[in-house]
């Protein structure tokens, strides 16, 4: 190993000594500063970094982020935020810290910080996730033919959920479409609290018989559909049922049915 390579490998540990003994609190200002996760591990301790990383990673996976996707950004962004915060504990992270973490950064890193905020919001550290830079506002979806009260519950869920934006928007579409079925088959059921076991059974049976293009929102009728009128795929059935299940679970967990 050359002396230069040895020095590069020693940088994080020299930074840790300077941080704790010399009051040097900005290791990110070091020339050729790279791999903030390594610096954060050296300064705050590898065990602490891994513990907080595992907590946040588990929460983000529960929100729908794939492990392979998290590997691309989480360690680096979390390490940078820990260093900028001066404290590795997730409970000390603030909205201001994350907003500063987005500033003057590339679009990709800014969006990654936004994803971290979704995890922190789900953990109760933040009151709400940050608005992701570059993410457009909700695509307008038609509510034609849906009971207004059901629409209100759908929108309330959409505005409260900490799921990743694409997952949230997809699930929002599915629960709105459920409102079309309710209005046609069970008009007296206007909120999640009105559902009974027999309603759930009827809905599962209806999804099982569902065809491509059925229960389509007016805002999506211009979309070209393949296999129109044919039975929907098994994976589509699963996705539809999963969306409504997520809706009901959150409804209960958030105490909305009380």
The tokens for 51 are 């513990």
Closest by alpha carbon to 214, among 258, 186, 184? 184
8 A C-beta contact, residue 179 and residue 141: no
**pLDDT of 135:** 42
pLDDT for res 191: 94
Structure tokens at 182: 């309710």
Contacts of residue 141, Cβ cutoff 8 Å, sequence gap at least 6: 172, 173, 176, 217, 219, 220
H or E element: which one contains 114?
helix 107-123
pLDDT in tens, the chain (258 residues): 444 454 467 777 777 777 777 776 666 666 566 688 988 998 999 999 999 999 999 999 998 888 888 888 899 899 989 988 989 999 999 999 998 888 756 667 788 888 899 999 999 999 988 865 444 444 568 888 999 999 999 989 988 887 777 788 889 999 999 999 999 999 999 999 999 999 999 999 999 999 988 888 877 665 666 777 888 899 889 999 999 999 999 899 888 876
Structure confidence at residue 137 (pLDDT): 43
CA distance 78 to 49: 9
- Residue 75 is predicted with a pLDDT of 92
Quote the pLDDT of residue 32. Answer: 60
Enumerate the domain spans of the chain: 3-123, 148-253
């Amino acid at each position: 190993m050359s002396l230069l390579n040895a020095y590069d490998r020693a940088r994080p540990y020299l930074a840790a000594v300077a941080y704790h003994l010399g009051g040097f609190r900005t290791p990110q200002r070091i020339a050729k500063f790279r791999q903030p996760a390594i610096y954060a591990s050296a300064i705050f301790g590898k065990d602490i970094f891994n513990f907080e990383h595992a907590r946040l990673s588990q929460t983000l996976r529960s929100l729908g982020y794939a492990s392979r996707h998290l590997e691309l950004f989480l360690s680096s962004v979390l390490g940078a935020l820990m260093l900028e915060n001066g404290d590795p504990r997730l409970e000390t992270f603030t909205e201001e810290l994350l907003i500063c973490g987005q500033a003057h950064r590339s679009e990709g890193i800014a969006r990654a910080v936004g994803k971290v905020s979704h995890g922190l919001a789900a953990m109760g550290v933040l009151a709400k996730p940050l608005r992701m830079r570059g993410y457009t506002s909700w695509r307008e979806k038609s509510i034609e033919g849906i009971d207004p009260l059901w629409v209100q519950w759908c929108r309330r869920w959409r505005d409260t959920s900490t799921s990743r934006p694409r997952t949230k928007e997809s699930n929002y579409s599915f629960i709105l479409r459920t409102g079309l079925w309710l209005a046609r088959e069970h008009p007296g059921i206007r909120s999640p609290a009105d559902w009974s076991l027999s309603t759930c059974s009827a809905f599962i049976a209806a999804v099982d018989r569902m065809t491509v293009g059925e229960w389509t929102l007016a805002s999506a009728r211009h979309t070209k559909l393949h296999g129109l009128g044919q039975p929907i795929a098994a994976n589509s059935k699963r996705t539809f049922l999963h969306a409504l299940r997520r809706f009901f679970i959150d409804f209960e967990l958030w105490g909305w049915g009380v």
